[in-house]
Amino acid sequence: LGALLVVDTVASLAAVPLDVDRERVDVCFSGSQKAISAPPGMSPITVSPAAEEAFRKRKTKVQSWYFDLTTAMNYWGKDRLYHHTPPVSLIFALREAMRLVVEEGLETRWERHRVNQLALIAGLEAMGLKLLVEKPSDRLPTVTAVMIPSGVDDEKLRNQLLDEFNIEIAGGFGPIKGKIWRVGLMGYSSQKPNVLLFLAALEKCLIDQGFRVSSGAGVGGAVQGYTHAETAAAVSR
Amino acid sequence: LGALLVVDTVASLAAVPLDVDRERVDVCFSGSQKAISAPPGMSPITVSPAAEEAFRKRKTKVQSWYFDLTTAMNYWGKDRLYHHTPPVSLIFALREAMRLVVEEGLETRWERHRVNQLALIAGLEAMGLKLLVEKPSDRLPTVTAVMIPSGVDDEKLRNQLLDEFNIEIAGGFGPIKGKIWRVGLMGYSSQKPNVLLFLAALEKCLIDQGFRVSSGAGVGGAVQGYTHAETAAAVSR
């Protein structure tokens, strides 16, 4: 075919199983500040030999110096030909973040993201909330899209979460603006305490807006979710 | 005319007198890691009302998301419409670097760069070296281009400076590759000790390659240069 497979792993790298070579990904790009939990400002990228060959065979000039991989390749290559001044301090920070990824272990990390997501979902559903993505296998372990219940003010709720609990969740954009919340659990922030505190805080904010939740339902659902996951893990050992 | 004036101040901002508004610069861009001496990874930029209007009137799509000021303007504007995740830690570092610029004072800073450049040039000329830019008013106070004397090996000398003295100077590129050295004195590094140490180290490296310099000529020339500058400053007060 000669087509190249380009995969966006901005919200998944270091959180979701991925084997770039085995899955024959030609270009895989991500962000430093998501599940890797390094400071923002960089995009890790891989380029397969096939993609590199395609770049080298280009006949037209790349339209933007800013993101010109053909000249950046000369920087990475033997010549070390100057393309731009790299963000040195961020590179050291990324290296340290990657060291922490290796220390935890990729598989442990994937499992951590999966378990926290399942507990979050168990809690949300126990509160009577619906998810945007219905099929569990289609859900991203790092971002959970929750339908905003009718009668609840999107921005008001997100501001209250931020002001009262220092928790920031994202709204939707484009056609689902105002219809969903996006709850991120990535890298460092994918933690049991964050899941439980978020559910408790969300309950408070929803009740303040008149949405009826049975007391403690979200936290209760998540705790059950964790217990299930731990039992399952113990059985599989 | 309707033309826009775009000025590259990468090697000059915070080192050379500049009044963006008075000089009617429409777009002025720089780098964080040069005379501002913040970590690399950002490009401060200004956009005049005329330039902003030209951007807003575009009928064609910007070819690169990566550096699309028309959508970035919605990020800067009232809407705070998401364009990219900003490099937060670098922004704090830039702020601190700018605070140090303000603490020193812009005019003091400009004068510091000017005096160190003049002393450097006095030292280089006392060693019998020639500059690429002959007219003094055409010279940049932050980068001095020195002609490599015949018989001296460019790369060998630069490697020795780096290995033996931890001083890095740049070579030329394009048509002047191998013909000049570029000596930077920018921001934090524009300091008397750096000027004197560099001249002393250069003397050592040049002598090791058989180039004849009368002993201590460079440092002597620079010291005289500083004395002249200080006398002139005292008189003008």
Task: Map residue B192 onto helix, strand or coil.
Answer: helix
pLDDT value at residue A1 = 65
Cα A216 from Cα A135, distance rounded (Å): 26
Shortest CA gap A142–chain B (Å) = 17
Q: Do A40 and B64 touch (CB under 8 A)?
A: no
What's the average model confidence in pLDDT over A137-158?
97
pLDDT value at residue A153 = 97
User: Partners of B181 in the beta sheet?
Assistant: B146, B171
Shortest CA gap B226–chain A (Å) = 32
Shortest CA gap B23–chain A (Å) = 27
Q: Do B88 and A63 touch (CB under 8 A)?
A: no
What percent of chain A has pLDDT above 70? 100
Q: What residues of A are in the B interface, CB distance below 8 Å? A: 31, 33, 39-41, 63-64, 66-67, 82, 85-90, 93, 173
Say which amino acid occupies B119.
A
What's the average model confidence in pLDDT over A137-149?
97
Task: Map residue B173 onto helix, strand or coil.
Answer: coil
Q: What mean pLDDT is reported for chain A? A: 95
Q: Do A85 and B39 touch (CB under 8 A)?
A: no
DSSP B147: E
CB A158 within 8 A of CB A166: no
Strands in A6-8's sheet, in edge-to-edge order, are A6-8, A27-29, A45-47
A224's enclosing H/E stretch is: helix A217-236
Q: At what angle do helices B49-56 and B69-76 cross, to 10 degrees?
A: 120
What's the average model confidence in pLDDT over A84-101?
96
pLDDT in tens, chain B (237 residues): 689 999 999 999 999 999 999 999 999 999 999 999 999 999 999 999 999 999 999 999 998 888 889 888 888 888 888 889 999 999 999 999 999 999 999 999 999 999 999 999 999 999 999 999 999 999 999 999 999 999 999 999 999 999 999 999 999 988 999 999 999 999 999 999 999 999 999 999 999 999 999 999 999 999 999 999 888 888 887
| Token duo for residue A22 | 């085995």
Cα B93 from Cα B39, distance rounded (Å): 7
pLDDT value at residue A194 = 98
Exposure string of B170-181, with b = 16+ CB inside 10 Å and e = fewer, is ebbeeeeeeebb
Residues in chain B within 8 Å Cβ distance of A39: 87-90
Q: How confident is the model at residue A113 (pLDDT cuts 50, 70, 90)?
A: very high
* Domain covering B6-104 in this structure, CATH number: 3.40.640.10
Cα B165 from Cα B197, distance rounded (Å): 9
* Domain covering B106-236 in this structure, CATH number: 3.90.1150.10
Exposure string of B128-162, with b = 16+ CB inside 10 Å and e = fewer, is ebebbeeeeeebbbbbbbbebbeebeeeebbebbe
Cα A235 from Cα A69, distance rounded (Å): 48
Nearest to A41 among B31, B82, B87 (CB): B87
DSSP B140: B
pLDDT value at residue A223 = 97
Shortest CA gap A60–chain B (Å) = 14
The answer on pLDDT for A230 being more than 90 is: no
Shortest CA gap B222–chain A (Å) = 30
Q: Which residue has the tokens 């954009």?
A: A173
Q: Do B87 and A39 touch (CB under 8 A)?
A: yes
Q: How many interchain CB pairs under 8 A, A with B?
A: 53
The answer on pLDDT for A2 being more than 90 is: no
In tens, the pLDDT along A52-63 reads 999 999 999 998
| Token duo for residue B219 | 């440092």
Tell me the Ramachandran region of residue B105: left when phi exceeds 0, alpha when psi lies from -120 to 50, beta otherwise: left
Which burial class, exposed, middle or buried, applies to A3 when counting CB atoms under 10 A from its CB (0-12, 13-18, 19+)?
exposed
Residues in chain A within 8 Å Cβ distance of B90: 39, 41, 87, 89-90
| Token duo for residue A116 | 């926290």
Q: Where are the domains of chain B?
A: 6-104, 106-236
Give the Cα-Cα-Cα angle A105, A109, A112 (nearest 5 degrees): 140
CB B70 within 8 A of CB B56: yes
Q: Do A85 and B33 touch (CB under 8 A)?
A: yes
Residues in chain A within 8 Å Cβ distance of B93: 89
